[in-house]
């Protein structure tokens, strides 16, 4: 069982003054810091006058690096996990490490602070009491289509992250999915020297950024519809799955149960779908 503590530390998006005093204290006093980009984190640590052992831990890190950090914790050393900016694990590396420490009964302590999601919601002008966070959507394919359709139909605001070179395609695809007149918000380089906060229709935002190449880190907020989305029609999907499972030798009763658990169908509807397969 790990005897050291894993601290999950939120770091500034850009302005160093946004680092909380507690986070600064942890980074100064923790012997090991696991960082997404050691070069970027070294600048923050130098600013704090801290000199811990710095380990690289990012989305491409393998099991060996995770094992190294777990071994340090088991030796009783505390470790601070940081990403390049904002809160680790939220569209940033760290979930596997946190899960592994918790599975071993170790202590995981959050050191909260800056979040690009909360920062964008606070200034976009849309209600922020409920929202959907989708992070980075895939560049292409059916999963991108599915997530953008989900965003377009969502009752509440939807927050997305995007790389600057892909912002314009995202705005244009959202305009197709949600309508050109749906309002959106783009927060670029939040809290940094060249911060830009721009709201408007999706069409207007797309026109604006087609003339001005965006740079830096970008957070997008899509206005919600304000109305509960209609439940999806899963008739074709239910029929296809029922036919597949029946052909595979599953009993009708088991197919009904599986349709209920897989698609969330009420029992009477699942039963009707299966009976229609006769």
CATH 3.40.50.10860 fits 117-222, yes or no: no
Distance of CA 216 to the CA centre of its chain: 18
SS3 per-residue string spanning the chain: CCCCEEEEECECCCCHHHCCHHHHHHHHHCCEEEECCHHHHHHHHHHHCCCCEEEECCCCCCHHHHHHHHHHHHCCCCEEEECCCECCCCCCCCHHHHHHHHHCCCEEEEECCCCHHHHHHHHCCCCCCCCEEEEECCCCCHHHHHHHHHHHHCCCCEEEEECHHHHHHHHHHHHHHHCCCCEEEEEECCCCCCCEEEEEEHHHHHHHHHHCCCCCCEEEEECCCCCCCCCCCCHHHHHHHHHHHHHCCCCHHHHHHHHHHHHCCCHHHHHHHHHCCC
pLDDT for 58 equals 92
pLDDT for 46 equals 96
Q: Which of 118, 141, 155 is nearest to 18 (CA)?
A: 118
Domain locations in the chain? 5-114, 117-222, 235-275
Rounded CA separation 116/125 (Å): 15
CA angle 222, 198, 141 (to 5 degrees): 40
Paired tokens of 140:
């292409």
CATH 3.40.1010.10 fits 5-114, yes or no: yes
Residue 52 near residue 38 (C-beta atoms within 8 A): no
Q: What is the pLDDT of residues 7-56, one digit of tens each?
A: 999 999 999 999 999 999 999 999 999 999 999 999 999 999 999 999 99
pLDDT for 1 equals 64
pLDDT for 232 equals 64
pLDDT for 149 equals 92
pLDDT for 233 equals 66
pLDDT for 231 equals 65
Q: Tell me phi and psi for residue 243, to 5 degrees.
A: -60, -40
The residue ranges of the chain whose pLDDT is under 70 are 1-2, 230-233, 278
Residue 135 near residue 83 (C-beta atoms within 8 A): no
């Amino acid at each position: 069982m790990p005897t050291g503590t894993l601290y999950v530390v939120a770091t500034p998006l850009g302005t160093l003054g946004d680092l909380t005093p507690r986070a600064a204290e942890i980074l100064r006093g923790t012997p090991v810091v696991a960082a997404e980009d050691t070069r970027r984190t070294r600048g923050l640590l130098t600013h704090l006058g801290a000199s811990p052992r710095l380990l690289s831990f990012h989305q491409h890190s393998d099991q060996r690096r995770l094992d190294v950090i777990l071994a340090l914790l088991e030796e009783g050393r505390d470790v601070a996990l940081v990403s390049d900016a904002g809160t680790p694990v939220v569209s940033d590396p760290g979930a596997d490490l946190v899960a592994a420490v918790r599975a071993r009964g170790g202590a995981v302590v959050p050191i909260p602070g800056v979040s690009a999601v909360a920062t964008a919601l606070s200034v976009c002008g849309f209600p922020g009491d409920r929202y959907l966070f989708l992070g980075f959507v895939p560049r292409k394919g059916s999963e991108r289509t599915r997530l953008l359709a989900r965003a377009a139909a969502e009752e509440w605001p939807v927050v997305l992250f995007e790389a600057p070179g892909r912002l314009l395609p995202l705005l244009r695809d959202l305009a197709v999915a949600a309508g050109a007149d749906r309002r959106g918000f783009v927060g670029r380089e939040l809290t940094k020297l060249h911060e830009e906060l721009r709201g408007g229709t999706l069409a207007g935002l797309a026109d604006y950024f087609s003339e001005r190449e965006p740079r830096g880190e970008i957070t997008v907020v899509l206005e919600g519809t304000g109305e509960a989305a209609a439940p999806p029609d899963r008739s074709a999907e239910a029929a296809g799955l029922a036919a597949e499972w029946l052909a595979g030798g599953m009993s009708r009763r088991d197919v009904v149960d599986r349709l209920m658990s897989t698609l969330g169908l009420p029992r009477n509807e699942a039963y009707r779908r299966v009976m229609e397969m006769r």
